[in-house]
Amino acid sequence: MSNWQTITCKHTGERCYYLLHRSGLPIYVWPKKGYASSYAVFATNYGAIDTAYRDAETGKSVEVPAGIAHYLEHKLFENEECDAFERYAKTGANANAYTSFDHTAYLFSCTQQVTESLEILLDFVQDPYFTEQTVEKERGIIGQEIRMCEDSPSRTVFCNLLTALYHRHPVRIDIAGTVESIAEITPELLYGCYHGFYDLHNMVLSVAGNVTCEQVEEVADRLLKPAHGKVPARVPVDEPIAAAQSRIEVRMPVSEPLFYLGYKVPQDTANGVRFESAADTAAADVLQELLGGKGNALYADLMRRGLINASFELEYFDGPGYGVWILGGESADPDAVCVAFRAEVARLCREGITQDEFEAARNAVYGRLVSQLDNVEACGDMVIGAHLAQQSPFAVLDEVAALDIQSVYRRVAHDFNEEASALSLVLPVAKG
């Protein structure tokens, strides 16, 4: 264990361990004594927004079709002999993968044969195999997935919101791309993106649960291939502060209107890298509870008036060059909900946040974060999210415990600019 660094949560005493492997891969292991299950995530700092980048060797700007990161995620599960799911079936592991706006992750959970399942994970993600035939076959599968999403009201109301908020940033484009954009994807483009972004220096491995550092390191020593470390650079996007449009409406077969009210938050970025501190994240988490929590006065009032139901939610998500507050759900009168929410934000800006309100929200967030420590999947995901945000695994939890009321108030005053807001609506099909 001499090469492993111990990372300890100041407020709970929880520990995980970190190793920068000789291959260049950062590895985190979070042993959970007494747990039967294990969970592993192998992620790359490469996602749907990376439709343009600067080549590490030539310095030239490269543009690729929207949806290529998601396409690559699908294709990596297959190689010349079989697919990874067939191999996982022999170990009993439950495997999956996903592509987000800013990263791609491959994962599994298991209750036995964790070493064998980890071998499969590290093997297939490092072994790309693309041919004209396999790429063409996948085009039909993903094209069908895209068309299904286009028929989904919940997906439509979300994607339309981002289109309304953003002028240029690729977060405005659906993660899967479009039927037209994926038609341009070739094996050569997939290999180019893979060899650029799936460099171990640009990736991270997180393993939590019934596992030891020695087990993980032994597998890593055998299977990880040395990487050159020449990773493409993200290209910053000059995104205006104001929203592209203030309102977007479509009609679909829904029984109640769906809505999302969104606020685009200005980002402090350089070279396409996101610089939000753990304290900023902690303040956003507490503000989310203050404005959208089910125990606050706004939620109670909206429920009493019959303007919202259990689908109501408020969340904040961000990444390189983008940050969005999103509020919504089902409502018979979305505009009335938006008026009430804007009035509550204005009140907080005018009157401030009481100490009692702040402490109740902070305690709720802290309790939720602590409760996640009992879930191995939440622990593994926590590590991945923190690493990609250039934060320590326990940084946000510790910052929530130490947070002051002024940090939250600053976010209220900074984040909710009406010029940077938009309302997305999916309305029922008109009768007659």
Q: What is the DSSP letter of 200?
A: G
Domain with 397 in it: what CATH number?
Answer: 3.30.830.10
**Residue 351 a catalytic site member:** no
* Residues 5-45 pLDDT 10s: 999 999 999 999 999 999 999 999 999 999 999 999 999 99
* Same domain flag for 223 and 252: no
Statement: residue 431 has pLDDT above 90: no
Final residue of a structural domain among 181, 201, 234: 234
Within a domain: 239: no
* Same domain flag for 254 and 224: no
Within a domain: 242: no
Crossing angle (nearest 10°) for helices 395-402 and 278-292: 60
Backbone angles phi and psi of 394, in degrees to 5: -100, 10
* Same domain flag for 162 and 60: yes
Within a domain: 132: yes
Final residue of a structural domain among 234, 269, 285: 234
Sheet holding 61-63, edge to edge: 61-63, 52-54, 233-234
pTM of the full structure: 0.94
C-alpha 216/C-alpha 329 separation (Å) is 42
C-alpha 18/C-alpha 28 separation (Å) is 5
Final residue of a structural domain among 234, 259, 293: 234
β-pair type (15-20, 5-8) = antiparallel
Looking at residue 149, its pLDDT comes to 85
* Same domain flag for 187 and 271: no
Statement: residue 277 has pLDDT above 70: yes
Could you tell me where the DSSP H helices lie in 239-331?
A: 278-292, 297-304
* Same domain flag for 335 and 212: no
Q: Domain residues for 48?
A: 5-234
* Same domain flag for 198 and 68: yes
* Same domain flag for 229 and 252: no
* Residues 297-350 pLDDT 10s: 899 999 999 999 999 999 999 999 999 999 999 999 999 999 999 999 999 999
Say which of 73, 138, 344, 399 is annotated catalytic: 73
388 neighbors 43 (Cβ within 8 angstroms):
yes
- Determine whether 208 is exposed, middle or buried from the number of CB atoms within 10 Å of its CB (0-12, 13-18, 19+): buried
- Total number of domains constituting the chain: 2
pLDDT band at residue 2 using 50, 70 and 90 as cut-offs: low
CA distances for 334 relative to 164, 261, 341, 348, 420, angstroms: 17, 9, 11, 21, 18
Looking at residue 83, its pLDDT comes to 87
C-alpha 420/C-alpha 432 separation (Å) is 36
Within a domain: 240: no
* Same domain flag for 290 and 390: yes
Statement: residue 194 has pLDDT above 60: yes
